[in-house]
Amino acid sequence: MSNRESRSGGYPDILLGRKSLGRYPVHKLRRVDAITTEVRGEIQRVDQTQNGFELAGAGAYGEKCRTEYERSMTKFPLDYALAEFVGSIFSPYGTGPVAPEKAPLPNDPAILSEHIRSLGYFLGADLVGVCELPQWALYSRDAERDPIVCTHKYAIVLLSEWDYKTTSGSLGDDWISDACSFVAYDRTAHMAVAMAAYIRRLGYKAKANFETGDFNPTFDMPVTPLIVLSGLGELSRAGWALSPFLGGRFKASVVTTDLELRPDRPIDFGLQSFCRVCKRCAEECPSRAISDSDLMVLKNGIMTYEFDVERCTKYRIMNQNGAFCGKCIKVCPWTKPEGPTHDLVRAAIRATPFLNRAWVKFDKWLGYGQQDIRYKWWFDLEEVGGRHRIPKRSPDNDYWKK
């Protein structure tokens, strides 16, 4: 054994966190002790039946919205193709029997965390984070109104990005929008199921939480708090967790487990001061669901910007010019891919918060957030009554208000 190996207990650099299979420089992020969202009280568990899509499906947003909800996943053929098989393939394997005997693993949560992180990258994740799983982060009830019970101590969060060029080629709320989500959801479903099955074979409990596309997601929790807690992002003005490397251009799955791990710390890359002045998502949101106010409100124990779930959900479901919507993600200045120029700007934003307004203006001036038609590779098609037609684009898409 070399001197270096003996100093490290004989473990290779990758299990000591000195190397990574991941391609993003997460080691350069500023780690902090507490999340950058201000917590002002007790956070209550939320009921999954009260999320926007569940309410829409139950008719709470009106009969037209309920009817559109039922056809929403099937109206664009690629969306349907990506979403229809995930549930039937993966749902039976989210949980399963645990091996009766524990495998001889290192008795070191830090080493095990790096092992699991590397596994996530090996399976294809773009970013992997680990956090403790507080009970408040779980839904109180699932969509079937059954109480959610999960005593696993840790959550492993797996992010999968979707193609930036495709996002550039879209309007953000046209036909490809939801397919972008589902191509990432499909990948994360596979990663989560494989990771949970592996942990169970090692003799520890584990459950995969992922989106199935058949209105029957397996999530025991909303993912945004866990993305923030595991140091993969900060809470944004738009209400979703924003990654410093991907913006909101990703989807997540979660593996919960009782395998002893070492949690990652939250990050601070300057998003709170950036969101305060940027407001790009609020300006471009077609349903005006995102607040452009400077004031934050206290919502379930945290200080956050107002967000109108009903307006967003109705627009996404009843959008007649596309399938769902991701315009806030498309126009967000952080959505750009890695690359020397963008990485330099990200670093500059972190270092010069007083220039945030100028950065936002510069971003707009360069035309980011506009459609780059050179990358529109898909055909706009709408399935109606089992037949495809080329949809007409209405200049006034306010069907969702009716």
Q: Which is nearer to ligand SF4, 194 or 328 (CB)?
A: 328
Compute the least distance from the CB of residue 242 to ligand SF4, in Å.
Answer: 6
Compute the least distance from the CB of residue 312 to ligand SF4, in Å.
Answer: 3
Compute the least distance from the CB of residue 282 to ligand SF4, in Å.
Answer: 7
Task: List interacting residues with ligand SF4 (CB under 6 A).
Answer: 173, 236-238, 242, 274-275, 278-281, 285-287, 289-290, 312, 315-316, 325-328, 331-334
Q: Which is nearer to ligand SF4, 207 or 336 (CB)?
A: 336
Q: Is 91 helix (H, G, I), strand (E, B) or coil?
A: helix
Are the CB atoms for 82 and 179 separated by under 8 Å? yes
H helices of 251-326, in order, are 271-278, 280-284, 309-318
Q: Which is nearer to ligand SF4, 327 or 336 (CB)?
A: 327
User: 210 exposed, middle or buried (CB, 10 Å; 0-12, 13-18, 19+)?
Assistant: buried
Compute the least distance from the CB of residue 272 to ligand SF4, in Å.
Answer: 9
Are the CB atoms for 345 and 334 separated by under 8 Å? no
Q: Name the nearest CA neighbour of 172 among 332, 381, 397.
A: 332
Q: Which is nearer to ligand SF4, 210 or 240 (CB)?
A: 240
What's the maximum distance between 2 C-alpha atoms anywhere in the chain?
A: 72
Residue 27 — φ and ψ, nearest 5°? -70, -15
Compute the least distance from the CB of residue 295 to ligand SF4, in Å.
Answer: 14
Angle in degrees, 0-180, between the axes of helices 109-122 and 177-201, rounded to the nearest 10: 140
Q: Which is nearer to ligand SF4, 226 or 278 (CB)?
A: 278
Tokens 């098989």 -> residue: 85
Compute the least distance from the CB of residue 331 to ligand SF4, in Å.
Answer: 6
Dihedral angle, C-alpha 349, 353, 354, 360, nearest 10 °: 50
